[in-house]
Amino acid sequence: MAADHIDTRKGMDLYEIGYRHAISTYNKAVAAAEDVPEALAPVLLNRAMAEFKLGNFGRALGDLEKSLSLMPGNAKAHYRAVLCAVALEKFDVALRHCDEGENVVTANNSAQGRRDVALFKQQRWVMMKAMEKSNSYQSEKERTLQVERARKEKIALMVDERGITMGLPLFSQQRRYSCTEPRERDGVWHWPVLLVYPEEIARPGGGDQSDFLEDVAETTKIEEILEWIFGEEVEAPSWDVNRVYRSTNSLQMRYRTEWTLKIEDADSDEEESFCGSTLPEDEIGHWMDVSSSSSLKDVLRKRNYIVPLFPVFYVIPREIELG
């Protein structure tokens, strides 16, 4: 088939109107020119530019590489390949095309040739800046990852040294808090803590109530935590319509043994979605009282306390027994 039988002009017109329409037309032209290398090369070159404009840099680069295999020494194809490779951060490919393209235009000792050489030199400078930026970004990313790894390793060491048993959350809402991990300051670990007030006690028919404490030092006594929330100088919570949370002396912190899965017993899917509150009643252990004179650190080190992502405690009037 002769090259002039291939409808590339229509593709160029549509290129100005819409790149996607242009690509569709170029696709047909590519199919028609499959056996005509001298016609296929420029069609691939034009389709590559349309793909580039749409941000399809990988496809564009593929077309340009194929076009150059059919028509070696096409400076325009090399230049566009540099643009695509830089966008993909394939700097080795960009450098190769920059070298080859510059060699092509250098041989053309004309005004246009000198302008083309300047263009390639400019693009080489742009590429080097992009490489520096990418390397800087990668270095910063690696530093961030190193800090994150060190932080997690430090937490894991602390948990191991204290004999703390970590588990999956009790409630789905726990995963939505901005702070879910302990943080160390001046040798003291600080934990987020969730206090839960059961619906049947706090506000029948109104759902469980809760308080989220973002920063509780491990040295804090349980009685201090209760004082923060229900002390004499603190306004009574609006949900305590029956005034059962009237005094810290009448309140008891409790937890249940085996109330969630231990991290070591959970698979990857469970780590993403499991909540201890979904466990059947007969699979959960006994209620345990927490001594008000104990520190948070003391409680977390108990062998039968599983930390559900971060510490959770139920707060219940002493005279009330839960099933």
Has residue 248 been placed in a domain?
yes
Neighbouring C-beta atoms of residue 274, cutoff 10 Å? 18
Is there a single domain that holds both residue 200 and residue 112?
Answer: no
Q: How many whole angstroms separate alpha carbon 163 and alpha carbon 156?
A: 10
DSSP letter for each residue of 37-50? HHHHHHHHHHHHHH
Place of tokens 């894991």: 156
**76 and 192 share one domain:** no
- Report how far residue 246's alpha carbon sits from residue 76's, in angstroms, rounded to the nearest whole number: 81
* Same domain membership, residue 78 and residue 195: no
In a domain, 158, yes or no: no
Query: Domain span at residue 264?
Result: 165-317
Q: Per-residue pLDDT tens, the chain, 323 aa: give them.
A: 444 445 555 655 555 567 888 888 889 988 888 888 888 999 999 999 999 998 899 999 999 999 999 988 899 999 999 999 999 989 889 999 988 988 888 877 667 767 877 888 888 888 888 888 887 777 888 888 898 999 999 999 999 999 999 999 999 999 999 899 999 999 999 999 999 998 777 666 667 789 999 999 999 999 999 999 988 888 888 888 778 888 888 899 999 999 999 998 888 777 778 999 888 988 999 999 999 999 999 999 999 999 999 999 999 988 877 76
| Listed residues 79, 112, 132: the one ending a domain | 132
- Domain stops at, among 110, 132, 154: 132
Query: What is the reported pLDDT for 69?
Result: 93
Query: Which of 115, 132, 149 is the last residue in one of the domains?
Result: 132
* 290 and 201, same domain (yes or no): yes
Q: Are residues 91 and 186 in the same domain?
A: no
Question: Does 57 lie in the same domain as 196?
Answer: no
- Overall domain count for the chain: 2
Same domain flag for 104 and 179: no
Same domain as 306, residue 169: yes
Kindly state whether residue 147 falls inside one of the protein's structural domains.
Answer: no
- Cβ contacts of 73 within 8 Å, gap of 6 or more: 104
Cβ atoms of 240 and 316 closer than 8 Å: no
Is residue 20 located within the same domain as residue 117? yes
For residues 99 and 189, state if they share a domain.
no
Q: What CATH code is carried by the domain that includes residue 67?
A: 1.25.40.10
Same domain, yes or no, for 126 and 74?
yes
194 within domain boundaries:
yes
Q: What is the DSSP string of 207-225?
A: --EEEEEEEEETT-BHHHH
83 and 199 share a domain? no
Establish if 153 belongs to a structural domain.
no
CATH of the domain at 264: 3.10.20.90
In a domain, 322, yes or no: no
Measured in whole angstroms, the distance separating CA 305 from the mean position of its chain's CA atoms is: 31
d(CA 46, CA 27): 11
61 lies in some domain: yes
Q: What is the pLDDT of residue 204?
A: 64
Instruction: Tell whether 138 is covered by a domain.
Output: no
SS in 3 state form for 230-276? HCCCCCCCCCCCCCCCCCHHHEEEEEECCCCCEHHHCCHHHHHHCCH
